[in-house]
């Protein structure tokens, strides 16, 4: 760059000298080749500048929007961002796993706060999905609950789609439990009484009934997905 | 007084060079604040391409066209950024309005320099908590000695609001360079909006009281209204408290004791951490605003009933008012709630150590003080603070403005978590007023009925 700049300065200086000392112009033979070469050089340089202009960044100072009032976040905005984020990077997977653990903690705390289960039974209820009518929510937080068809379909679209689907349904189920509606356990526990010990046979029957209900709900859910 | 900006002080953060001009440390040639816009980049092509083509095609008129390009390129390159020598003055129609009042802001800019400012743009530094009804910006050309005026309106909200410096941009006629500066305006730069303290329905307090008489029923027998017990007559007991019915029946003198009503010391503590600045939507007031509103209603209600009231902010900065009584104390509380920076309508970015704050707060808190904790319960720590203070013997009542929404999974989850915190506090024996969209007075009446059962 320095060499070309020096060459340019020298050429311009020579041009000025030629204006005074015309005889120096005779040093160059203004043949066809020389003039054509100068023309090509000018054209190439011109095109180079034109190309620079095409890619050049036009700057302007940002003035901001002081007229707008400061907006505060809505509780849960950060969670929405995490839920909506796509991708399969290790960081994304780690964050989703942490969020999953948090959801489970919230579910256990909600059930405890509602008093639907004794403290010792809360983890079991979440494990076997007995805490909710929603098969997707039951599967999402449970440990040995089979994935409903709707969730399996989402899995085909990617783990992030499956995660979003599971979170949305689980949060809905949690909100329903929190507001006192849709607690599967409330009906079942009302019959037996939350603190009344059950026999093994009753437990098996209740589990089978719940599994059946979940399967029906899952089928209904899958059907609804297909219709949608 | 007026604010002036010129070359030597056009940029608020510039370092001054040897010649008195502000110089960019990264680019010592270009004065700080001068930005090349890049609009004329490539003008050399307009000169060189026709020349090249003219030579190659042996067409002299094209070479002459190249001269035109040279003229344009020289114009763009030779046009310097204008010198910015302006005076700006701001005027507010009412610097101390009531909340909700419309205040007209007038900004006058005068060109004190010798040259024309062909393209001058001003954007006023409207405080973040204020919303304007019209653009707070002006674009004009200004001849030397002339003044241009910008007028807009803001709606006043609680707090002391300082205007930021005016952002001024001046471009040269070709638009190839612009000068960027922040200039402090003279005149009024602060709007103070101090709401009146309006007492709400009487605030139900818990049993922790002082030795002074007041309105909080205690378990101590003495003078009062509600029957407490009877005891043996002691010499000097007033005749009106003698149980004459029993005397007629048995002939024994006994004295009626009533539930003593005493005054309480209440510290209203407002959660104004950055994380407490939450709102369910853009139009609603944020949770800190609502907490301050709750405090503004609670403080006069408590003072009216003879209780000693203090104020504190669970936030960065030392925002505390020792418990006291009287009109002067009420005025101090009003001023603190309205204008203390810790309770500003927008969060500060000051560092905050919550555990240190709790330790200091406990040391400051009188032993017999109740705490009225206004918090949206944005995290578990707020609930922990309430439980800890309650465990230390300061009867805590939580007023919790609900800032949650339920339109997305994340928002719904935050609502569930907050509801769990409320349940946890209630199960720990702490009174919680879950303040939804109803007016606080209505919620207080409802809560008072629930708590008195």
Classify residue B399 as left (phi > 0), alpha (psi -120 to 50) or beta: beta
Q: Provide the terminal-to-terminal Cα distance of chain B, rounded to the nearest Å.
A: 63
Q: Provide the terminal-to-terminal Cα distance of chain A, rounded to the nearest Å.
A: 64
Q: How confident is the model at residue A197 (pLDDT cuts 50, 70, 90)?
A: very low
Write the CB contacts of B359 (distance below 8 Å, at least 6 apart in sequence). Answer: none
Residues of A in contact with B128 (CB under 8 A): 66, 69-70
Complex ipTM above 0.85? no
Q: What is the mean pLDDT of residues A81-96?
A: 80
Q: Please choose, from the candidates A14, A167, A3, the residue with its C-alpha nearest in 3D space to the C-alpha of residue A84.
A: A167
Residue matched to tokens 């009934």: A209
d(C-alpha B308, C-alpha B323), whole Å: 5
Write the CB contacts of B328 (distance below 8 Å, at least 6 apart in sequence). Answer: none
Percent of chain B surpassing pLDDT 70: 86
Residue matched to tokens 């995290």: B379
Residues 6-45 of A with CB under 8 A from B: 35-36, 38-45
Provide the whole-model pTM: 0.71
Distance to chain B for A170, nearest Cα, Å: 9
Closest in A46, A63, A76 to B414, CB measured? A76
Segment B144-157, tens digit of pLDDT: 999 999 999 999 99
What is the predicted pLDDT for the residue at B9? 37
Q: How confident is the model at residue A216 (pLDDT cuts 50, 70, 90)?
A: low
Torsion of CA B254, B259, B265, B270, to 10 degrees: 170
Q: Do the chains contact at B48 and A43, CB–CB below 8 Å? A: yes
Q: How far is CA B222 from the centre of its chain?
A: 46
Count the Cβ atoms, other than its own, within 10 Å of residue B115. Answer: 12
What is the predicted pLDDT for the residue at A209? 63
- Least confident range from B66-70, B121-125, B159-163, B346-350: namely B66-70
Query: Which residues in A12-38 are b (16+ Cβ under 10 Å) and which e?
Result: eeeeeeeeeeeeeeeeeeeeeeeeeeb
d(C-alpha A58, C-alpha A192), whole Å: 74
**B406 CB within 8 Å of a chain A CB:** yes
Q: What is the mean pLDDT of residues B75-87?
A: 84
Q: How confident is the model at residue A193 (pLDDT cuts 50, 70, 90)?
A: very low
Query: Which residues in B349-360 are b (16+ Cβ under 10 Å) and which e?
Result: eeebebeebbee
Write the CB contacts of A133 (distance below 8 Å, at least 6 apart in sequence). Answer: A173, A182, A183, A184, A213, A217
d(C-alpha B304, C-alpha B298), whole Å: 10
Task: Reply yes or no on whether the pLDDT at A93 is more than 90.
Answer: no
What is the predicted pLDDT for the residue at A215? 61
Residues of B in contact with A45 (CB under 8 A): 44, 48, 52
What is the predicted pLDDT for the residue at A228? 44
Distance to chain B for A30, nearest Cα, Å: 12
Q: How confident is the model at residue B294 (pLDDT cuts 50, 70, 90)?
A: very high
Q: What is the mean pLDDT of residues A142-150?
A: 86
The token pair at B53 is 């083509």
Residues 294-333 of B with CB under 8 A from A: none
The token pair at A173 is 């189920």
d(C-alpha B260, C-alpha B213), whole Å: 8
Laid out side by side, the sheet with B34-36 consists of B34-36, B177-183, B164-171, B117-125, B137-142
Task: Reply yes or no on whether the pLDDT at B440 is more than 50.
Answer: yes
Q: How confident is the model at residue A189 (pLDDT cuts 50, 70, 90)?
A: very low
Residue matched to tokens 């024996």: B429
Closest in A38, A77, A178 to B416, CB measured? A178
Strand duo B117-125 + B164-171: pairing: antiparallel
- Bridge partners of A144, per DSSP, are none
- CA distances from residue A25 to A19, A31, B268 in whole angstroms, order as listed: 9, 13, 93
Segment B326-372, tens digit of pLDDT: 899 999 999 999 989 999 999 988 889 999 999 999 999 988 889 99
By residue count, chain B amounts to 453
Residues 162-191 of B with CB under 8 A from A: 164, 167, 169, 178, 180
Least CA distance to A168: which residue of chain B? Answer: B409
DSSP line for chain A:
-HHHHHHHHHHHHHHHHHHH-GGGGGGS---HHHHHHHHHHHHHHHHHHHHHHHHPPPP------TTSPP-PPPTTHHHHHHHH-----HHHHHHHHHHHHHHHHHHHHHHHHHTSS-HHHHHHHHHTTTT-S-HHHHHHH-SS-PPPHHHHHHHHH-HHHHHHHHHHHHHHHHHHHHTT-S-HHHHHHHHH-TTS---HHHHHHHHHHHHHHHHHHHHHHHHHHHH-
- CA distances from residue B12 to A105, B15, B16, B167 in whole angstroms, order as listed: 50, 9, 11, 10
| Per-chain mean pLDDT for chain B | 84
Q: How far is CA B361 from the centre of its chain?
A: 22
Segment A38-54, tens digit of pLDDT: 889 888 988 888 888 88
d(C-alpha A215, C-alpha B381), whole Å: 41
Tell me the count of A-B CB pairs closer than 8 A.
Answer: 192
Residue B165: burial class (beta carbons within 10 Å; 0-12, 13-18, 19+) = middle
Task: Reply yes or no on whether the pLDDT at B14 is more than 60.
Answer: no
Eight-state DSSP code of residue B213: E
By residue count, chain A amounts to 228
What are chain B's domains? 1-193 (2.60.40.10), 213-262 (no CATH), 265-451 (3.40.50)
d(C-alpha B121, C-alpha B170), whole Å: 6
What is the predicted pLDDT for the residue at B445? 84
Closest in A41, A47, A67 to B45, CB measured? A47
- Least confident range from A2-6, A148-152, B341-345, B402-406: namely A2-6
What is the predicted pLDDT for the residue at B233? 86
Query: Which residues in A73-91 are b (16+ Cβ under 10 Å) and which e?
Result: ebbbbebbebbeeeeeeee
The phi, psi pair for B84, rounded to 5°, reads -105, 100
Task: Reply yes or no on whether the pLDDT at B409 is more than 90.
Answer: yes
């Amino acid at each position: 760059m320095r060499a070309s700049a020096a060459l340019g300065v020298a050429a311009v200086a020579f041009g000025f000298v030629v204006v005074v000392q015309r005889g120096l112009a005779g040093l160059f033979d203004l043949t066809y080749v020389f003039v054509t070469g100068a023309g090509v050089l000018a054209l190439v340089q011109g095109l180079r500048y034109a190309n620079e202009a095409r890619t050049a960044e036009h700057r302007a100072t940002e003035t901001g929007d002081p007229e707008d009032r400061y907006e505060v976040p809505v509780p849960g905005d950060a969670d929405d961002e995490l839920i909506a984020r796509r991708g399969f990077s290790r960081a994304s997977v780690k964050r989703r796993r942490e969020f999953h653990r948090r959801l489970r903690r919230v579910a256990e705390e909600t059930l405890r706060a509602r008093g639907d289960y004794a403290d010792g039974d809360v983890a079991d209820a979440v494990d076997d999905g007995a805490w909710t009518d929603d098969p997707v929510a039951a599967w999402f937080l449970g440990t040995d609950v089979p994935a409903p068809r709707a969730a399996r379909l989402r899995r085909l679209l990617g783990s992030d789609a499956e995660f979003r689907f599971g979170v949305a349904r689980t949060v809905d189920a949690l909100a329903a439990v929190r507001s006192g509606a849709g607690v599967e356990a409330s009906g079942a526990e009302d019959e037996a009484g939350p603190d009344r010990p059950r026999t093994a046979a009753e437990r098996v029957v209740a589990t089978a009934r719940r599994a059946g209900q979940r399967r029906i709900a899952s089928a209904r859910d899958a059907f609804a997905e297909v219709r949608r | 007084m007026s604010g002036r900006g010129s070359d030597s002080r056009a940029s608020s953060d510039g370092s001054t060079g040897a010649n008195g001009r502000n110089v960019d440390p990264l680019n010592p040639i270009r004065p700080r604040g001068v930005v090349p816009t890049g609009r004329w980049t490539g003008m050399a092509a307009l000169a060189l391409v026709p020349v090249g083509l003219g030579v190659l095609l042996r067409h002299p008129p094209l070479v002459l066209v190249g001269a035109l390009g040279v003229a344009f390129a020289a114009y763009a390159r030779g046009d310097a950024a204008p010198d910015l020598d302006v005076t700006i003055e701001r005027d507010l129609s009412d610097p101390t309005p009531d909340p909700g009042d419309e205040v007209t802001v007038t900004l006058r800019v005068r060109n004190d320099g010798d040259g024309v400012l062909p393209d001058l743009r001003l954007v006023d530094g409207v405080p973040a908590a204020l919303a304007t009804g019209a653009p707070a910006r002006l674009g004009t050309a200004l001849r030397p000695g002339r003044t241009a005026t910008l007028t807009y309106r803001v709606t006043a909200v609680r707090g002391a609001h300082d205007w930021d410096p005016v952002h001024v941009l001046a471009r040269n006629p070709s638009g190839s360079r612009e000068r960027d500066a922040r200039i402090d305006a003279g005149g009024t730069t602060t709007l103070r909006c101090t709401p009146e303290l309006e007492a709400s329905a009487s605030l139900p307090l818990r049993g922790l009281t002082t030795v002074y008489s007041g309105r909080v029923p205690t378990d101590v027998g003495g003078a009062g209204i509600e029957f407490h017990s009877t005891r043996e007559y002691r010499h000097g007991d007033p005749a009106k408290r003698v149980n004459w019915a029993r005397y007629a029946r048995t002939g024994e003198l006994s004295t009626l004791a009533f539930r003593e009503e005493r005054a309480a010391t209440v510290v209203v503590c407002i959660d104004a951490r950055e994380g407490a600045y939450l709102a369910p939507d853009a139009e609603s007031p944020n949770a800190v605003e609502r907490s301050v509103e709750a405090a503004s209603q609670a403080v006069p209600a408590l003072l009216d009933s003879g209780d000693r009231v203090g104020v504190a902010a669970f936030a960065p900065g030392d925002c505390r008012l020792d418990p006291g009584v009287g009109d002067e104390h009420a005025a101090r509380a009003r001023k603190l709630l309205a204008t203390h920076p810790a309770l500003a309508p927008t969060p500060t970015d000051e560092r905050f150590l919550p555990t240190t704050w709790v330790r200091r707060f406990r040391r400051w808190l009188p032993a017999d003080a109740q705490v009225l904790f206004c918090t949206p319960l944005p995290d578990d720590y707020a609930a922990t603070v309430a439980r800890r203070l309650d465990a230390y013997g300061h009867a805590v009542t939580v007023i919790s403005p609900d800032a949650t929404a339920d339109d997305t999974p994340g928002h719904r989850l935050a609502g569930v978590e907050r509801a769990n915190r409320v349940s946890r506090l209630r199960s720990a024996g702490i009174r919680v007023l879950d303040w939804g969209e109803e007016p606080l007075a209505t919620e207080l009446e409802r809560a008072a009925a629930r708590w008195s059962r």
